[in-house]
Structure 1
């Protein structure tokens, strides 16, 4: 059978970079400092034995996906079972020849490469999803992407949310472009984070406006109430920022918010190269029309939205409004707060 030096020579001749450790403890030090793509591990080692080393490797986030091949002269099924139970992916029985070893190594490295590619794609998908939803919802989506990310879209009951910064155009005329962008980004950063904290899905920025929706791709059961909570928190956050900039400008900024609940088509819209996870339909148009009637500090919601959260919010019924595309006037409410018993 091949000794350690001969094994190393064969691996290096095949183009592999090899690290060698003469004890279990040293093997772990090397593996954690420079994570390997594959580990050839003798069961009998100085200090910690191969089974223990393998368990430590598989328990670490750094090395758990590195294939481990246990090398042993022990032929009993008990030893092979212990190797598998410790997390080994394969084993070689001494004596073995170089061809057998290199074949096993290539096969396991091919599997490792496919796993790394999948992990890279999942990492990219996670980063993309985190642009629209919070980490908790991302975890739910990735646990069953076929369920939550249907291509072509689907009809879902959702609550659509529009928030518009009022007076921003006039304010921008008084300030340098760099200052305008800085302030706008400051507003958007704070307001968008509130959407995520309330389990909403960010849709897009349109000028000085934010669009979001609640209820897709994952429904929480409290989506409409979460949308109202986000609106209330946004108004508070906006007022704090407004108070800081008010002494430096003659133009007052305000925030008007509108919400509407109903069925809408949700999915990826665009092309193979450029797409956006968004929502379309009359529910969106109605939410926008309602938002356009919201003055500074107001949170206007439709009757459909009010019906879903009326037990949990304080709101004042306003005069019905006529909006484009609707034959009958819309009943709307101005939200003033949450009732004291609400827990979210």
Structure 2
């Protein structure tokens, strides 16, 4: 602004003073942003003396005004501000972009011999138009930067989709709450206390941050939001601010993806000579209150309600690699998932036992197949143990399975393998016989560079496995809860 004011005194030799006022967006108050005097300097601690009558005239009519001799001008001659400021000749032009009034520029002189003419006003009006555009562009840039900073801050806590709703005002930031129907997910590292005792605190924190970065990314990618991170645990939700018929499917799909990615993450830990981590996940669907809780100084967005508590209690029942869901979550997606129905269980706050399902896999329209997270042991035809892996995908129509390996091995094409799938819910591993589709030569799964092998499920040997992985299948466990807890 100072360069513009300097230029004004060069363009108009008669001017003794020039200044620019801009209107604050929130208060509409006019704020001086620059003043230039030909003789002397404006005291920064002194309030800028202004003629309110001139400002009112310009703002009311939204057009430039010229007073060749303000002392003899019927519009201003009787105004005390004109007399007190000794203004003899002046020009004032609004800063307009379209119909939006951003501020004004004023040029004035106290010398009776110096006067501004209509041609001077034309120059000032043209210059004001250019200044107005520059001011508007600067304001837009500031708004964009402020919005970007706010969005970046919010995205540390919420998904991009939820942030869009916050930014648009669909979700309030006031201290209030609203009832929603949605799905809640809790996930927790199993054996975290023992792991923490064996590691330095800084190493524990670094390991947790790496793990949580993976988990949060998966939640956001599937339209979920993170409510809170509590040490080694994380709470996420779907259904706020708008419930969607795919909320349950998105939540369970996310849970399976979390278990799959945790397996790959453990390969990284193995390559670093660190112990693996294991996770249990619990989900429930129902009504809850979501909103801002706290005080004006510190606000936290959170979920409260009986169904939130139930999701947490289901998670506490989960074991390694398990995804446990309630009846309310299972019902809308039972045609998409294969599940094991666990024995009814009494939980705190419920007068009758609840039904819980362990999810082993799910039909995925995104991958045009079936996703799962089933750790397994790999044996050759003679029963020799070759290593461990995880079944992650299948294409039911072609009986194809995707096996990811974590060990070095060489396998010829057409080799028949036996996979012993580790299922917490059965006394014996679930066994399936597969044929390797392509040769595996010296593959090594160090770190996250695991090897992916496509297998054919030999149907005549795998009736149990095919049924186990069939979307819509639900079988009952042959364990009691005491058995499950011991595992």
TM-score (norm. length: structure 1):
0.67
- Corresponding residue of 1:148: 171
The aligned residue for residue 294 of structure 1 is 318
Distance 1:251 1:321, change over 3 A: farther
Aligned counterpart, 1:134: 159
1:258 lines up with 2:287 in the alignment:
no
Question: How many equivalent pairs are there?
Answer: 274
Q: Which residue of structure 2 lines up, in the alignment, with residue 9 of structure 1? A: 10
Instruction: Spell out the pairing of 1:1-344 with structure 2 (5 A cutoff).
Output: 9=10, 14=18, 96-97=121-122, 118-142=143-167, 144-145=168-169, 147-149=170-172, 151=174, 152-246=176-270, 253-339=277-363
Contact kept in structure 1, 2:178 and 2:290, CA below 8 Å: yes
Higher strand share: 2
Separation (CA, whole Å) in 2 of partners of 1:197 and 1:342: 12
Structure 1 residue 207: deviation in Å?
1.5
Query: Any unmatched runs of 5+ in structure 1?
Result: 17-83
Structure 1 contact 268–278 (Cα < 8 Å) conserved: yes
Alpha carbons 1:167, 1:252 under 8 Å: kept:
no
Rg larger in structure:
2
Structure 1 position 282, deviation (Å): 0.7
2:286–2:307 CA contact under 8 A, matched in 1: yes
Aligned to 1:28: none
- 1:305 shift after superposition: 0.6
Whether the 8 Å contact between 1:164 and 1:208 is mirrored in structure 2 is: yes
CA contact (8 A) 2:8 2:18 kept: no
Q: Using the alignment, how far apart are the partners of 1:115 and 1:219 within structure 2? A: 34
Give the drift of 1:320. Answer: 1.0
Q: How much has 1:115 moved relative to structure 2?
A: 5.0
Residue 262 and residue 98 in structure 1: after superposition, are their counterparts in 2 closer, same or farther (change >3 A)?
A: same
Take 2:224 and 2:247, find their aligned partners in 1: how far apart are those partners?
A: 8
TM-score by length of 2: 0.49
SS of the equivalent of 2:361 reads: strand
CA contact (8 A) 1:162 1:257 kept: yes
1:242-288 Cα shifts (integer Å, max 9, x gaps) = 23324777965310000000000011111112111111111110000
CA contact (8 A) 1:301 1:332 kept: yes
8 Å Cα contact 1:322/1:330 also seen in 2 = yes
Indicate if the aligned counterparts of 2:157 and 2:226 stay in contact, CA closer than 8 A.
yes
Specify every segment of 5 or more residues in structure 2 that has no aligned partner in the other structure, as ranges.
1-5, 21-96, 104-117, 369-487
